[in-house]
Amino acid sequence: MRNALVLVLLTAVLAHGAPTIDPPPGWRDVTSEGKARNAVIALKGPQTSSFMVKAAPLAPMDNPAGVRGYLNDVLIGLRRSTGLDYRTSGRVETRVFRNGLKAQLLRAGLGGEERVVIALFSVRGAGHLAVLLSAAPEAMLDSLLGALRIDKVEGAIQSRGIARSADGQLELALGGGLRSRALLDAEAGKGFVLVIQGSGSEIIFQKLAEADATKPAEQAAIVRELTASSAGVPAAKIAPVAEAPTPAGPVGIYSWAPAAGGENLSVGYLPWGYWGYQLFGRGPAADELMAGVLAALKAGPSAVPGLLASTPRIPIKKEVSRRALALGALATLGAVIFLIWSLRRKNARLPS
């Protein structure tokens, strides 16, 4: 089988922490069948379509000329193994997918129609090579390369580079005290998409579907209720809901309350297009980290500028504490007494 020959052509050593994938509709996993030697992922699609990923520890990752030469060598081997005259312009493009995967792509066609995409990318510092053969490879890129789970190790910590949410909508630069933690499977199963740590505290983002989103006018009250219930304190003891702008445009809101053990609990909401994210924070600096993370948050590769521009702003009713009301009342009473005293004194000096 031609595709099997292609998979045998590309040999490498399986790397720890390799990417995984759930096959898209119409595709099946054939990795265990052994037809693709040393393959990390091997999928069979409709007709002669196939998708394969292998570790490529010797591939040049940072040298543009080396990458181009490497991908062209793979294409030459593909021609020899299949007997098909795949042709390419030689142009290598860089593309970032919704899962945060940054890949360098070489496309090739047959008879003037694109049929092959060869991709080189890094997963946790290890090089990987992917080959996609399809009658319409461009239509399958997001469903294959964009669907790779590229950080399978639960709880793995990333302290440098860019942290991106699982849906590709959010990203922020790490460093300066910020780091990210890989989602646990249980967290991912509940809709959580991003975890950021700093100052001994942690903020986790949960994506809300459009059907779960509530009206903007209700969000401030929800944040207050969630904060109070999470900390187990009366609503009167939590901090007033505050705004937290983001460089991406949308303005988040949050509140916090002290909890047992010297910790703080914070709860926030970030509107994003026509849906949003619920944020939960825990730790001694959960309040400061919440505002800091939102202040560093940018739009990810899957974000659509037009949707972000239409994101509604969450209204916040100005809250006045009882003490402030009491002080205001005393000040008003004092002003009235002073005014009466001044008038009486003036009248007393008037000639009869």
CB-CB contact of 193 with 206 (8 Å): yes
Whether 20 and 133 share a structural domain: yes
Residue 316 lies in a domain: no
Residue 317 lies in a domain: no
Residue 152 lies in a domain: no
Whether 124 and 169 share a structural domain: no
Helix then strand then coil, in percent of the chain rounded to 5, is 30, 30, 35
Whether 47 and 101 share a structural domain: yes
Supply the DSSP string of 311-343, one letter for each residue.
Answer: PPPPP-PPP--HHHHHHHHHHHHHHHHHHHHHH
CATH of the domain at 296: 2.60.120.1690
| % of the chain surpassing 70 pLDDT | 82
pLDDT at 197: 95
> Any idea which residue has 């006045």 for tokens?
320
What gap in Å lies between CA 40 and CA 54, rounded to an integer?
A: 5
Residue 180 lies in a domain: yes
Whether 205 and 236 share a structural domain: yes
- Better-predicted residue by pLDDT, 82 or 125: 82
Residue 220 lies in a domain: yes
| Mean pLDDT, rounded, for 151-157 | 62
| Mean pLDDT, rounded, for 233-246 | 92
Lowest average pLDDT, out of 114-128, 142-156, 171-185, goes to: 142-156
Whether 205 and 289 share a structural domain: yes
Whether 127 and 21 share a structural domain: yes
CATH of the domain at 124: 3.40.1000
- Asked whether the predicted pLDDT for residue 11 surpasses 80, the reply is no
Whether 266 and 343 share a structural domain: no
Whether 138 and 168 share a structural domain: no
pLDDT at 68: 94
Strands (E), 15-81: 28-29, 41-44, 50-55
Domain boundary among 117, 147, 177: 147
Token readout for 200 is 């001994």
- Asked whether the predicted pLDDT for residue 350 surpasses 60, the reply is no
Residue 92 lies in a domain: yes
Whether 143 and 16 share a structural domain: yes
pLDDT digit string, tens, across residues 332-348: 445 545 455 455 544 44
φ, ψ of residue 53 in degrees (nearest 5): -130, 135
pLDDT digit string, tens, across residues 261-280: 778 999 999 999 888 999 99
Residue 241 lies in a domain: yes
Residues forming a β-bridge with 29 = 43
Farthest CA pair distance, the chain: 122
pLDDT digit string, tens, across residues 207-217: 987 656 667 88
- Asked whether the predicted pLDDT for residue 125 surpasses 90, the reply is no
| Stated length of the chain | 352
Whether 181 and 301 share a structural domain: yes
Q: Structurally, how many domains does the chain consist of?
A: 3
Of 26, 66, 43, nearest to 132 by C-alpha is 43
Domain span at 141: 2-147
Domain boundary among 147, 178, 193: 147
Whether 333 and 224 share a structural domain: no
Residue 76 lies in a domain: yes
Whether 8 and 107 share a structural domain: yes
Of 302, 15, 17, 13, nearest to 158 by C-alpha is 17
